[in-house]
């Protein structure tokens, strides 16, 4: 019997330990098994919104936006909207004074519908359709990042006024991450290679176009990058290329965007990118390289997506069945790869926590699986859950804020879960649950 059993009032005040670094800033676990985020009891949230449901700690997002601004004074911070976007999120990013990366007409339209100013948007993408460009130009998109030679005349032909552009360049730096998340090496689909001369040719062509104003270079070496050193390497290559441009054309480009991809830990053994070290090192390395080449120091931009929202999100599932197999125990939940395809895409695995009732028994290793018809629909393997885990129990999965809702699908015609902002004890819907009516709405019959 524990102290909390003897003195019942202690149960809710004593907090039980949450693995550090994985849960939102305001997450609290009590000894009687409650889990609160933003002061909202997640069991109540599940009761009100159903399961699965994705809770987003708005306080956590805001404080990460602020941490970036503090760690990188004078550096433009652009939120990569593809990590998670809805109107409430766009307003939050706007209120925090960040710029926004968008990569489709749809992302432009959602941000614009929230009142996010077009001039603080930057349009990316290796394919920009006529529709994407039309939508972006209609809101007066601040900058467009050119990704191929073909885009140069296409864009020049449609811009209503002189358009600021950057060129996405391949720095030839291996981000040291999953192959599906690497974008800075030579052999991939994004950007223009310095090595092949395509980047230099693009600079010539853009400078020859009076409709386009080349304001800088952009690179993005990948996602889940843990090493500050790789950013320094990429930035130094970019400065060397800025110097080449200056020698050939006599122009010093005023902006350098070194992309996003800052790593977030998804488990207790994983490492996040050290933001403080990044802030101390990267701008100084750029300034040093510019001095060496005799260049003005360009204004830097960084584009974190995941690092701003991943840890704010907690997905709540309900256990549907527990199967004790010959080799292992399977715990099946009422969501899976439709609300979180990261396990199937990258082999991602998550810590899982039961909540809603006290833990009175020992924990045993189980495999937590989703509801979908694919064997890759696995959330956690050999993870510890209380051995009395049973149908009806609630499970919380942290680090769900980035690339969950935005990558979700309606596989098996399962409607996408609601996303609810939680802060100061209030739960405010950001996206409602997708219904069968929604699914049938686009079915032409």
Contacts of 204 (CB under 8 A, 6+ apart): 249
Q: How far is the CB of 6 from ligand PLP (least distance, A)?
A: 47
Among 96, 101, 107, 434, contact with ligand PLP (rule: CB under 6 A): 101
What would the x/- binding string for ligand PLP be over residues 165 to 204, using CB under 6 A? ----------------------------------------
Q: How far apart, in whole angstroms, are the C-alpha atoms of residue 40 and residue 36?
A: 5
Residues that contact ligand PLP, how many (by CB under 6 A): 16
Nearer CB in complex with ligand PLP: 193/329: 193
- Binding-site residues for substrate sit at 306, 342, 346, 374, 403
Q: How far is the CB of 313 from ligand PLP (least distance, A)?
A: 13
DSSP class of residue 95?
H
User: Is 373 a residue of the active site?
Assistant: yes
Q: Output the six-digit token pair for 325.
A: 């197999």
Query: By three-state DSSP, how is residue 190 classified?
Result: coil
Q: How far is the CB of 25 from ligand PLP (least distance, A)?
A: 19
CB 400 within 8 A of CB 315: yes
- Binding-site residues for pyridoxal 5'-phosphate sit at 261, 303-306, 403
- Name the region of 14 (left: φ>0; alpha: ψ -120 to 50; beta: rest): beta
Q: How far apart, in whole angstroms, are the C-alpha atoms of residue 19 and residue 325?
A: 29
Query: By three-state DSSP, how is residue 192 classified?
Result: strand
Q: Applying CB under 6 A, does 304 fall inside the site for ligand PLP?
A: yes
Q: Which part of the chain contacts ligand PLP (CB under 6 A), choosing from 27-35, 301-309, 366-374, 404-412?
A: 301-309
User: Element (H or E) spanning 216, and its range?
Assistant: strand 212-218
Among 177, 223, 227, 272, contact with ligand PLP (rule: CB under 6 A): 223
Among 11, 306, 342, 416, contact with ligand PLP (rule: CB under 6 A): 306
* Size of the chain in residues: 445
Q: Output the six-digit token pair for 183.
A: 């974008």
31, 65, 290, 373: the active-site residue: 373
Q: Applying CB under 6 A, does 236 fall inside the site for ligand PLP?
A: no
Q: Applying CB under 6 A, does 124 fall inside the site for ligand PLP?
A: yes
Nearer CB in complex with ligand PLP: 42/221: 221
Q: Applying CB under 6 A, does 128 fall inside the site for ligand PLP?
A: no
CB 42 within 8 A of CB 36: yes
Among 43, 65, 80, 137, contact with ligand PLP (rule: CB under 6 A): 80
Nearer CB in complex with ligand PLP: 72/295: 72
For 39, counting Cβ atoms within 10 Å of its Cβ (0-12 exposed, 13-18 middle, 19+ buried), the class is middle
Contacts of 115 (CB under 8 A, 6+ apart): 90, 91, 94
Q: Output the six-digit token pair for 259.
A: 């992309």
Q: Which part of the chain contacts ligand PLP (CB under 6 A), choosing from 22-30, 241-249, 298-306, 388-396?
A: 298-306
Q: How far is the CB of 259 from ligand PLP (least distance, A)?
A: 5
Nearer CB in complex with ligand PLP: 235/307: 307
Q: Applying CB under 6 A, does 305 fall inside the site for ligand PLP?
A: yes
Binders of ligand PLP in range 331-360 (CB under 6 A): none
CB 402 within 8 A of CB 272: no
CB 281 within 8 A of CB 416: no
Q: Output the six-digit token pair for 405.
A: 């809702």
Q: Which residue is nearest to ligand PLP (CB)?
A: 305
What would the x/- binding string for ligand PLP be over residues 249 to 268, using CB under 6 A? ----------xxxx------
Nearer CB in complex with ligand PLP: 40/309: 309
Q: Which part of the chain contacts ligand PLP (CB under 6 A), choosing from 12-20, 135-143, 275-283, 297-305?
A: 297-305
Q: How far is the CB of 125 from ligand PLP (least distance, A)?
A: 8
Exposure class string for 335-349: b at 16+ Cβ within 10 A, else e: bbbbbbbbbbebebb
Q: Are strands 426-431 and 419-423 parallel, antiparallel or unpaired?
A: antiparallel
Beta bridge partners of 55: 314, 420
Nearer CB in complex with ligand PLP: 145/245: 145
Q: How far apart, in whole angstroms, are the C-alpha atoms of residue 192 and residue 204?
A: 13
CB 417 within 8 A of CB 279: no
Closest CA to 269 of 404, 382, 386, 405: 382
Beta bridge partners of 152: none
- Binding-site residues sit at 261, 303-306, 342, 346, 374, 403
Q: Which part of the chain contacts ligand PLP (CB under 6 A), choosing from 28-36, 78-86, 333-341, 405-413?
A: 78-86
Residues annotated catalytic, as ranges: 373
Residues lying near ligand PLP in the complex (CB under 6 A) are found at 80, 82-83, 101, 124, 220, 223, 259-262, 303-307
């Amino acid at each position: 019997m524990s102290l909390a059993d003897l003195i019942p009032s202690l149960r809710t005040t004593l907090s039980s330990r949450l693995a550090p670094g994985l849960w939102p800033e305001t997450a609290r676990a009590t000894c009687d098994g409650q889990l609160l985020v933003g002061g909202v009891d997640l069991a109540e949230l599940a009761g009100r919104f159903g399961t699965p449901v994705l809770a987003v700690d708005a306080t956590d997002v805001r404080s990460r936006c602020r941490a970036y601004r503090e760690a990188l004074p004078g550096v433009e911070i652009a939120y990569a909207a593809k990590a998670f976007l809805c109107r409430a999120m766009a307003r939050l990013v706007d209120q925090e004074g960040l710029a926004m990366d968008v990569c489709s007409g749809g992302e432009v339209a959602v941000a614009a519908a929230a009142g996010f100013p077009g001039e603080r948007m930057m349009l990316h993408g290796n394919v920009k359709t006529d529709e994407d460009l039309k939508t972006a130009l209609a809101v007066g998109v601040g900058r467009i990042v050119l990704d191929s030679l073909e885009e140069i005349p296409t864009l020049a032909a449609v811009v209503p006024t002189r358009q600021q552009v950057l060129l996405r360049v391949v720095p030839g730096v291996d981000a040291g991450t999953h192959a599906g998340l690497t974008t800075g090496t030579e052999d991939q689909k994004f950007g223009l290679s310095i090595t092949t001369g395509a980047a230099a040719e693009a600079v010539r062509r853009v400078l020859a176009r009076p409709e386009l104003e080349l304001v800088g270079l952009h690179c993005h070496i990948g996602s889940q990058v843990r090493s500050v050193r790789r950013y320094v390497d990429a930035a130094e290559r970019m400065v060397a290329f800025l110097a080449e441009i200056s020698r050939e054309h006599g122009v010093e480009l005023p902006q350098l965007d070194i992309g996003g991809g800052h790593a977030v830990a998804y488990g207790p053994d994983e490492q996040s990118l050290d933001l403080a070290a990044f802030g101390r090192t990267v701008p100084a390395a750029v300034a040093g390289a510019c001095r060496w080449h005799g260049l003005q120091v360009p204004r830097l931009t960084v584009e974190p997506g995941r690092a701003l929202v991943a840890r704010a999100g907690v997905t709540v599932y309900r256990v549907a069945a527990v199967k004790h197999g010959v080799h292992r125990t399977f715990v099946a939940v009422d969501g899976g790869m439709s609300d979180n395809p990261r396990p199937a895409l990258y082999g991602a695995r998550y810590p899982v926590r039961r909540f809603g009732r006290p833990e009175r028994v020992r924990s045993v290793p189980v495999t937590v699986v989703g509801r979908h018809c694919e064997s890759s629909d696995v959330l956690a393997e050999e993870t510890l859950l209380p051995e009395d885990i049973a149908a009806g129990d609630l499970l919380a999965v942290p680090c769900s804020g980035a690339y969950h809702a935005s990558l979700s699908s309606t596989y098996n015609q399962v409607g996408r879960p609601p996303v609810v902002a939680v802060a100061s004890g209030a739960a405010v819907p950001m996206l409602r649950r997708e219904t069968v009516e929604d699914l049938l709405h686009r079915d032409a019959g």
